[in-house]
């Protein structure tokens, strides 16, 4: 017999979802109203404004797509590309590979610029590719590569795109609210994110933003967008609301309550403070990891504070460690992905998960589990090293 599901209470320190503030889940439990109810329309307007704040943009077309980050990715590609177009795609981890898939499924050609996993995208290679392909329409890259924890220079790459008359298309699913991001200042033309990383919302919504240049391209397409659901020409009618909202699809009303509350919380904290918070707790975590004798995949300069790829000590079965953390400490950390599968753990410090309690819990638990297994680490040092950072 099925009965009510009671999820275990976990601490989420993987690559997302992250811990959700009870204010957000509380907001999601409010009564469902109609998606064309004037009260909901007012909420949508506020969400748009709050997203403009989070992205640092005045872009009118700044909206939450009613589906997870992958749908935000797809919405950018299917709207901006037409069959026969060319796109330069940077790959330094899993998500650049997915961008390629998107380009090819649009009937366009992907010119790949590859960098080692764990390294940022190399602007010199990008420039060479743009020079070699003057007919390219856009440059796509991942700002915050969640599969490795590397941060790429979105400002420089976006400027390069414009130097060669391309649009810049940026994945900042993990970047938004975790590290500096300035959509207007960096002249990013199209960007997508997700709710379950540094915004600390349940998964399922993807904020996107399209600048004027991108909107022009979308409006002047000669072929229909291959996806009816993600066609911005249709979605704009729903979100623009100039002549009254028209029905496109039923918005996930309660999820929007949650996104709204998480953005209100972000505004209360302040964007710059949110970036500083991530950097600060990363320092403490890194001190503990290093005191244990473990290393990082990404060089300090390019490291994302919110996603830490940590090396696994010799002879340790990494999945057993994750299972012990989950079973004995209710703590989730992430496994390696793609080229880093089996080689790293990914420890997330995203949004609500990025706090002193979690840093100390994670270091203490990892230390205990590895020590129990007889792993070659410096036992009993990690928590004190982190505490020393907190003590200043
Ligand atoms: C998580 C993530 C995605 C995909 O988001 P989903 O919500 O899982 O669909 C895309 N790109 C990056 C960099 C991510 O971290």
**From ligand 1's centre to the CA of 70, what distance in Å?**
6
pLDDT of residue 243: 58
Q: Is the pLDDT confidence value at 242 over 70?
A: no
203 lines ligand 1 (CB under 6 A): yes
**For ligand 1, is residue 142 a contact (CB within 6 Å)?**
yes
CA of 315 to the centre of ligand 1 (A): 31
**Where are the extended beta strands (E) located within 166-227?**
167-171, 190-192, 206-210
Phi, psi of 57, rounded to the nearest 5 degrees? -145, 155
Buried b / exposed e over 246-283, threshold 16 CB at 10 Å, is: eebeebbbbbbbbbbbbbbbbeeeebeebbebbbbbbe
Q: Mean pLDDT, the chain, as a whole number?
A: 96
* Mean pLDDT of the 38-52 span: 96
Q: Cα–Cα distance between 118 and 299 in angstroms, integer?
A: 8
pLDDT of 241 > 90? The answer is: no
CA distances from 143 to 14, 162, 280, 391 (A): 18, 17, 20, 32
**pLDDT tens-digit map of 125-142:** 999 999 999 999 999 999
Torsion over CA: 317, 323, 324, 330 (sign):
positive
- Ligand 1 pocket member 69 (CB < 6 A): yes
Q: Is the CB of 172 under 6 A from ligand 1?
A: no
Compute, in angstroms, the gap from residue 116 CA to the centroid of ligand 1.
20
Is the Cα torsion angle 98, 101, 105, 109 positive or negative in sign? positive
Cβ–ligand 1 distance for 345 under 6 Å, the answer no
141 lines ligand 1 (CB under 6 A): no
Task: Give the pLDDT band (50/70/90) at residue 244.
Answer: low
Query: Which residue out of 17, 70, 93, 306 has the highest number of ligand 1 atoms within 8 Å of its CB and is therefore the one to mutate?
Result: 70
Query: What band does 247 get if pLDDT is binned at 50, 70 and 90?
Result: confident
Chain-centroid distance, C-alpha 310: 19
**364 Cβ below 6 A of ligand 1:** no
Is 194 near ligand 1, meaning CB less than 6 Å away? yes
SS3 at position 168: strand
- The pLDDT assigned to 238 comes to 75
Query: Ligand 1 mean position to 191 CA, how many Å?
Result: 13
Q: Has residue 1 got a pLDDT over 90?
A: no
What pLDDT does 245 receive? 76
Tell me the CA distances in angstroms from 286 to 86, 169, 280, 292, one per residue in order: 41, 31, 10, 10
Structure-block tokens of residue 361: 């819990």
Element (H, E) at 346: strand 344-348
Task: State residue 224's pLDDT score.
Answer: 97
Which ligand 1 atom is the nearest neighbour of the CA of 175? 13
Locate the ligand 1 atom nearest the alpha carbon of residue 73 and give its number. 10
Beta carbons of 192 and 34 less than 8 angstroms apart: no
- With a cut of 90, say whether residue 236 has pLDDT above it: no
Assess whether the C-beta atom of 92 lies below 6 angstroms from ligand 1.
Answer: no
Taken in order of first residue, the domains within the chain and their CATH numbers are 22-267 (3.40.640.10), 271-391 (3.90.1150.10)
Residue in 170, 173, 195, 350 to alter for ligand 1 test, most ligand atoms within 8 A of Cβ: 173
pLDDT of residue 13: 98
Cβ pair 93, 119 in contact under 8 A: no
Ligand 1 centre from 174 Cα, in Å? 7
Q: Could you tell me which residues come within 8 angstroms of residue 163 by beta carbon, excluding any fewer than 6 positions away? A: 130
For atom 6 of ligand 1, which residue has the closest CA? 69
Which H or E element spans position 64? strand 61-65
- pLDDT at position 114 is 98
For the CA of 144, the closest atom of ligand 1 is 13
CB–CB of 17/196 below 8 Å? yes
Atom of ligand 1 nearest to the CA of 143: 13
């Amino acid at each position: 017999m099925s009965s009510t599901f009671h999820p275990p209470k976990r601490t989420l320190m993987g690559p997302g979802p992250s811990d959700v503030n009870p204010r957000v889940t509380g907001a999601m439990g409010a009564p469902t109203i109609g998606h064309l109810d004037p009260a909901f329309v007012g909420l949508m307007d506020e969400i748009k404004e709050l997203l403009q704040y989070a992205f640092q943009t005045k872009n009118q077309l700044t909206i939450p797509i009613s589906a997870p980050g992958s749908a935000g990715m797809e919405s950018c590609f299917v709207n901006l590309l037409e069959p026969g177009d060319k796109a330069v795609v940077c790959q330094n981890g899993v998500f650049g590979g997915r961008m390629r898939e998107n380009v090819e499924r649009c009937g366009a050609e992907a010119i790949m610029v590859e960098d080692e996993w764990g390294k940022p995208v190399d602007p010199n290679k990008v420039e060479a590719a743009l020079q070699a392909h003057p007919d390219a329409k856009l440059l796509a890259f991942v700002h915050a590569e969640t599969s490795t924890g590397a941060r790429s220079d979105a400002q420089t790459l976006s400027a390069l795109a414009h130097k060669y008359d391309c649009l810049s298309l940026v994945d900042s699913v993990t970047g938004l609210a975790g590290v500096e991001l300035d959509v207007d200042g960096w002249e990013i033309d199209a960007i997508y994110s997700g709710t379950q990383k540094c915004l600390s919302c349940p998964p399922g919504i993807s904020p996107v933003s399209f600048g004027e240049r991108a909107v022009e391209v979308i409006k002047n397409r000669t072929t229909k967008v291959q996806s009816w659901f993600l066609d911005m020409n249709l979605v704009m009618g729903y979100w623009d609301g100039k002549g009254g909202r028209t029905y496109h699809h039923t918005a996930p009303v309660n999820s929007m309550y949650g996104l709204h509350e998480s953005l209100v919380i972000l505004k209360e904290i302040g964007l710059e403070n949110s970036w500083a918070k991530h950097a600060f707790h990363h320092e403490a975590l890194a001190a503990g990891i290093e005191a244990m004798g473990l290393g990082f995949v990404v060089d300090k300069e390019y490291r994302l504070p919110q996603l830490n790829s940590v090396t696994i000590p010799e002879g340790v079965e990494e999945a057993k460690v994750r299972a012990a953390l989950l079973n004995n400490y209710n703590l989730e950390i992430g496994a390696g992905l793609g080229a880093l599968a089996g080689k790293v753990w990914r420890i997330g410090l995203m949004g609500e998960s990025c706090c002193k309690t979690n840093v100390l819990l994670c270091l203490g638990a990892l230390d205990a589990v590895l020590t129990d297994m007889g792993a070659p680490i410096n036992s009993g040092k990690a928590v004190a090293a982190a505490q020393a950072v907190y003590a200043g």
